């Protein structure tokens, strides 16, 4: 909404409705300082749906409150004494320059913070789930990258105006076009994407220090390997750390430490390594020749095509298709 309102504000100037410090010039449609904080809290909501606002969060809206006050002050003088506005127009334009610089600075800070939050969240997902596609926020990272580009287009006219004292209308065209594209992209992503939040995901993923575990740790590790290899728990597409830790009658944190220290992997890598090995065996097996790669992947515990392709390439250095062709060729030549 704030993105769209600001775009309308600039459109009014393009069609000649807004300009030369009239009432529309101080319209609340221009809410640039609300855009990125709103986007930031949208991300926070996706990570923690039950998140409660703290004092720091509320302070992020103070710059926008200042923006509203300046706009209301300007609107008042337009109505009461427009001559005062004309006489002090240089001061008002400097205020708007200050708002633009504040918008840019705050946006860059929140952009970096948002990316760090998402990286921490995805790391937490990999420590708790073997399938993270439904929960991953990498699509938001792509939006943030686009937003970073929009901010660069926003910075260009600001720098030009501050250095020359002149701001031609056409210098804003790339910004408006990219902003419009971003609005549509956000709308498409949120409407057509299933927004879900994982169950039992820790709000804060604590760093697992390499501490000395109990004397029974080796026994627990052997039991874990036995369960994975003999009972083939990795074939369960919905397997997660909570399910596995309950079966082993251990806490999730303790089991996670065992996997980290003995296997050198997080939960996601640990479970999917078994699935990849099974896929590799089935690809070269005549008993599974009637199945395509995706069928073999689903039979081996994978839940989605994208996760299968990503994990297989990461763990083997080859795509499933290339691996299959190279192994079939090797069988024929041997």
Structural domain boundaries in the chain: 2-192, 217-333
How many other C-beta atoms are found inside a 10 Å radius of the C-beta of residue 79? Answer: 11
Q: Contact, 126 vs 169, CB < 8 A?
A: no
Contact 148, 112 (CB under 8 A): no
End-to-end CA distance of the chain: 64
pLDDT digits (tens, 9 = 90+) for 186-223: 788 777 777 777 866 764 444 444 545 667 888 999 99
CA separation for the pair 288, 87 (Å, rounded): 83
Which residues on neighbouring strands pair with residue 135, listed in sequence order? none
Distance CA 107, CA 99 (A): 12
Q: How far apart are the C-alpha atoms of 107 and 112, rounded to whole Å?
A: 9
- Please check whether residue 281 is in contact with residue 273, taking contact to mean a CB–CB distance below 8 angstroms: no
Q: What is the pLDDT of residues 261-290, one digit of tens each?
A: 999 999 999 999 999 999 999 998 888 888
Task: Return phi, psi of residue 7, to 5°.
Answer: -65, -40
Q: Which CATH superfamily is domain 217-333 in?
A: Homeodomain-like (1.10.10.60)
Separation of alpha carbons 229 and 24, rounded Å: 70
pLDDT (tens place) for every residue of the chain, 334 residues total:
787 787 787 777 777 777 777 888 888 888 888 888 888 998 998 888 888 888 888 888 888 898 899 889 888 888 898 888 888 888 877 887 888 888 888 888 999 999 999 999 999 999 999 999 888 888 888 888 888 888 888 888 878 877 877 777 777 778 878 888 888 887 887 777 777 778 667 644 444 445 456 678 889 999 999 999 999 999 999 999 999 999 999 988 889 999 999 999 999 999 999 999 999 999 988 888 888 999 999 999 999 999 999 999 999 999 999 998 887 666 666 5
């Amino acid at each position: 909404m704030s993105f769209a309102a600001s775009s309308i504000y600039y459109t009014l100037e393009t069609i000649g409705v807004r300009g030369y410090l009239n009432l529309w010039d101080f319209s609340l449609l221009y809410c640039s300082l609300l855009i990125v904080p709103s986007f930031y809290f949208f991300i926070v909501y996706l990570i923690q749906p039950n998140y409660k606002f703290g004092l720091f969060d509320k302070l992020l809206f103070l710059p926008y409150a200042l923006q509203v006050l300046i706009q209301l002050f300007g609107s008042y003088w337009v109505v009461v004494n427009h001559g005062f506005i004309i006489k002090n127009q240089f001061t008002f334009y400097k205020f708007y320059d200050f708002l633009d610089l504040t918008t840019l600075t705050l946006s860059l800070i929140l952009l970096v913070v948002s990316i760090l939050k998402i990286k921490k969240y995805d790391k937490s997902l990999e420590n708790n789930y073997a399938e993270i596609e439904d929960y991953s926020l990498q699509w938001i990272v792509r939006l943030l990258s686009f937003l970073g580009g929009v901010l660069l287009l926003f910075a260009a006219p600001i720098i030009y105006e501050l250095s020359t004292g002149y701001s031609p209308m056409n210098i804003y065209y790339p910004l408006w076009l990219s902003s419009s594209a971003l609005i549509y992209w956000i709308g498409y992503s949120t409407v057509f994407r299933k927004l879900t939040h994982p169950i039992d995901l820790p709000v804060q993923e604590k760093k697992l220090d390499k501490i000395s575990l109990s004397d029974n740790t080796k026994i627990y590790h052997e039991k874990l390997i036995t369960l994975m290899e003999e009972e083939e728990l990795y074939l369960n597409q919905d397997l997660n750390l909570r399910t596995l830790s309950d079966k082993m009658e251990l806490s999730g944190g303790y089991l996670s430490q065992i996997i980290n220290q003995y296997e050198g992997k997080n939960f996601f890598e640990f479970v999917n390594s078994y699935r990849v090995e099974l896929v590799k065996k089935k690809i070269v097996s005549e008993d599974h020749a009637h199945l395509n790669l995706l069928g073999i992947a689903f039979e081996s515990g994978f839940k989605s095509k994208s996760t299968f392709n990503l994990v297989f390439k990461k763990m083997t250095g080859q795509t499933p298709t290339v691996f299959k062709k190279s192994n079939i060729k090797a069988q024929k030549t041997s």
